[in-house]
């Protein structure tokens, strides 16, 4: 590894010089003046620029190559979104400004809420949750208050074993008890099993649709009926909404509460690229439970209303990650209804193309057709002493990002792949060729995999030690 910017520091060098202070410091001194030096690196501008260019070159990002991650839609972030979000009228806003001064921003939020409601067939949306799991948490709060209001003490949330790992965690943090149900041999919810597990104790069925195997729940109508007949609600984790845009509206199939991930389905940056956003939608009956403040359109303009007895309250400072909302709104408006449907269809087509090409090279436990993603297993390579983690590490040697591995837990040696709609056929073919070559290497020279990666800045890291004793902060050596 190269040196950190601190290790490149040399006393007296400067990339930037502040003018001498011309403000009196009296009165401020004790409160805010530093007692010692800041400890910033001292480095010239050219060396500083080179340092970060070198780091950026080592980085892997969506503008450099494909991210075949499953269940974590990592899609292209269109440049026009960044341009619009960068407009001074948005970036210069302060959340404490008078509503009369921010009508444009409120109109955008209102428009996005309406668009998401239309796309998902829900009664209303809140834009406040800052991530998918935060959306799940908000959804669980809404369910809790809904049943409290009805005087019902329902404590159990049923979660299929094909759901996202955050689901049972969000359930537990809201004081509910998660109860896992097993998928059937097709990787789907079995209505007969569900019927036995759902009763008067059940508050919510929390499902991921399509599920993490990339499969649409074929019995969804029956599943929803069973849950509703028991007086419970259906929550949909919409992290995989990319496959449904313009094709299925969750509200139409009876979903009561759901979240979408703007940083997945609606193309805003993901991971290190920028904060997330996990808006929550509810059916019209539950709209009063949404967090406050809500954007309301009146004859005279938009207002922020805190007027609700039933609201779960505030779940984020101010109004959520506003700048992310601008990007998602730009994406929706750019594509329109037809464009969004094309997104879903192309993402399904790309996934099925790759799945069909790679099935046979890797094993496929649950047969397709799939939706936007699919789960392979490297189990067939185990006899060569090779595991999924070795395949993943070898992909790095080919300059590719690895797919999600070892998830979902119901597939042994899982490789979960989601190519998304924007990748061209050439890119998909190139990825498939590498995956085929790696499977061949596993048979002929497995050490290429078990010793991978060989061509990355660092070789294989000790993941157990990293989990057990994480060392997250660089510290100067004691002198």
Partner 1 sequence: MSPEECLYTKEHEWIYVENNVATIGISEYAAGELGDIVYLELPEADSSVSQMDPIGTIEAVKTVADLYSPVSGQVIEVNEDIVSNPEAVSKDPYENGWFIKIKLSDPGELDVLFSYEEYRDYLGEQEAEKHEEDDMMEEEDE
Would you tell me which residues interact with partner 1 (CB under 8 A)? 360-361, 363, 379-380, 383, 387-389, 405-406, 409, 463-464, 467-468
Residue among 363 and 427 whose Cβ is closer to partner 1:
363
Nearer to partner 1 among residue 242 and residue 389 (C-beta): 389
Rounded to a whole number of angstroms, the minimum distance from the CB of residue 172 to partner 1 is 13
CB of residue 454 vs partner 1: minimum separation in angstroms? 21
Residues 6+ apart with CB under 8 A from 342: 246, 335, 421
CB of 389 to partner 1, least distance (A): 6
Class of residue 152 by CB neighbours under 10 A (exposed 0-12, middle 13-18, buried 19+): middle
If residue 227 lies in a helix (H) or strand (E), which one and from where to where?
Answer: helix 220-229
Q: Smallest distance from the beta carbon of 417 to partner 1, in angstroms?
A: 17
Query: Beta-carbon neighbour count of residue 478 at 10 Å?
Result: 4
Q: Are strands 280-282 and 257-260 parallel, antiparallel or unpaired?
A: antiparallel
Cβ 396 vs Cβ 457: under 8 Å: no
Nearer to partner 1, 51 or 365 (CB): 365
d(CA 270, CA 264): 7
φ and ψ of 281, to 5 deg: -110, 150
Residues 6+ apart with CB under 8 A from 37: none
Distances (CA, A) of 232 to 154, 161, 293: 9, 19, 27
- State the residue for tokens 């390579």: 381
Q: Specify whether the CB–CB gap between 257 and 114 falls below 8 A.
A: no
DSSP 126: E
Q: Given the complex with partner 1, which of 296 and 409 has the nearer CB atom?
A: 409
Closest contact distance (angstroms) between CB of 375 and partner 1 is: 14
Cβ proximity to partner 1, 11 vs 467, nearer residue: 467
Whole-angstrom Cα Rg for the chain: 25
* Smallest distance from partner 1 to CB 391, Å: 12
Q: How many residues does the chain have?
A: 479
CB 413 within 8 A of CB 387: yes
Short-list 171, 250, 249, CA closest to 206: 171
Cβ of residue 412: shortest distance to partner 1, in angstroms?
A: 8
Vertex 289: Cα angle to 284 and 292 (nearest 5): 115
CA distances from 381 to 234, 373, 374, 447, 450 (A): 39, 22, 18, 13, 12
Query: Which is nearer to partner 1, 294 or 387 (by Cβ)?
Result: 387
For the CB of residue 452, give the shortest distance to partner 1 in the complex, in Å. 16
How do strand 280-282 and strand 124-126 relate by DSSP bridges?
antiparallel
Minimum CB–partner distance for residue 144 and partner 1 (Å): 25
Q: CB of 122: closest distance to partner 1 in angstroms?
A: 33
Minimum CB distance to partner 1, residue 387 (Å):
8
Q: Is 346 helix (H, G, I), strand (E, B) or coil?
A: helix
Closest to partner 1 by CB, 143 or 452: 452
Between 104 and 360, whose beta carbon lies closer to partner 1?
360
Q: What is the dihedral of CA 113, 114, 119, 121, to 10 degrees?
A: 100
State the Cα–Cα distance between residues 395 and 439, nearest whole angstrom.
11
CB of 395 to partner 1, least distance (A): 16
d(CA 119, CA 68): 26
């Amino acid at each position: 590894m190269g040196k950190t910017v601190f290790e490149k520091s040399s006393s007296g060098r400067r990339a930037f010089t502040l003018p001498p202070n011309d403000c009196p410091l009296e009165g401020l001194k004790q409160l805010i003046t530093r007692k010692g030096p800041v400890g910033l690196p001292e480095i010239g501008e050219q060396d500083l620029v080179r340092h970060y260019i070198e780091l950026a070159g080592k980085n892997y990002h969506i503008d450099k190559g494909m991210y075949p991650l499953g269940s974590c839609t990592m899609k292209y972030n269109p440049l026009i979104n960044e341009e619009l979000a960068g407009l001074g009228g948005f970036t210069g806003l302060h959340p404490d400004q008078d509503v009369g001064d921010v009508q444009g921003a409120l109109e955008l939020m209102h428009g996005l809420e309406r668009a998401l409601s239309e796309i998902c067939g829900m009664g209303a949306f809140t834009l406040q949750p800052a991530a998918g799991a935060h959306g799940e948490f908000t959804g669980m709060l809404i369910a809790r208050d809904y049943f409290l209001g009805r005087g019902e003490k329902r404590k159990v949330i049923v979660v299929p074993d094909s759901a996202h790992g955050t689901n049972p965690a969000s359930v537990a943090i809201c004081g509910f008890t998660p109860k896992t149900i097993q998928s059937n041999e097709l990787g789907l919810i079995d209505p007969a099993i569900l019927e036995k597990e759902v009763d008067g104790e059940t508050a919510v069925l929390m499902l991921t649709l399509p599920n993490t195997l990339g499969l649409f729940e074929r019995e969804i109508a029956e599943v929803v009926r069973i849950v509703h007949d028991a007086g419970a609600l259906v929550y949909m984790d919409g992290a995989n909404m990319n496959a449904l845009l313009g094709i299925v509206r969750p509200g139409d199939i009876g979903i009561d509460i759901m979240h979408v991930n703007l940083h997945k389905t609606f193309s805003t940056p993901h991971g290190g690229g920028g904060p997330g956003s996990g808006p929550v939608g509810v059916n019209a009956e539950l709209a009063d439970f949404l967090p406050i403040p809500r954007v309301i359109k009146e004859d005279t303009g938009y207002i922020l209303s805190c007027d609700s007895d039933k609201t779960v309250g505030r779940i984020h400072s101010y109004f959520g990650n506003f700048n992310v909302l601008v990007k998602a709104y730009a994406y929706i408006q750019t594509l329109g209804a037809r464009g969004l449907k094309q997104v879903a269809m192309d993402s399904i087509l790309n996934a099925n193309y790759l799945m069909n090409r790679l099935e046979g090279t890797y094993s496929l436990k649950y047969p397709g057709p799939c939706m936007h993603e699919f789960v392979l297993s490297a189990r067939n390579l185990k006899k060569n002493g090779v595991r999924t983690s070795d395949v993943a590490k070898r992909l790095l040697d080919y300059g590719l990002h690895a797919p999600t591995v070892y998830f979902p837990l119901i597939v042994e040696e899982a490789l979960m792949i989601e190519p998304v709609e924007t990748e061209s056929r050439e890119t998909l073919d190139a990825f498939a060729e590498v995956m085929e070559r790696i499977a061949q290497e596993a048979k002929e020279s497995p050490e290429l995999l078990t010793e991978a990666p060989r061509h990355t800045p660092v070789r294989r890291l000790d993941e157990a030690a990293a989990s057990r004793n994480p060392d997250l902060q660089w510290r100067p050596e004691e002198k």
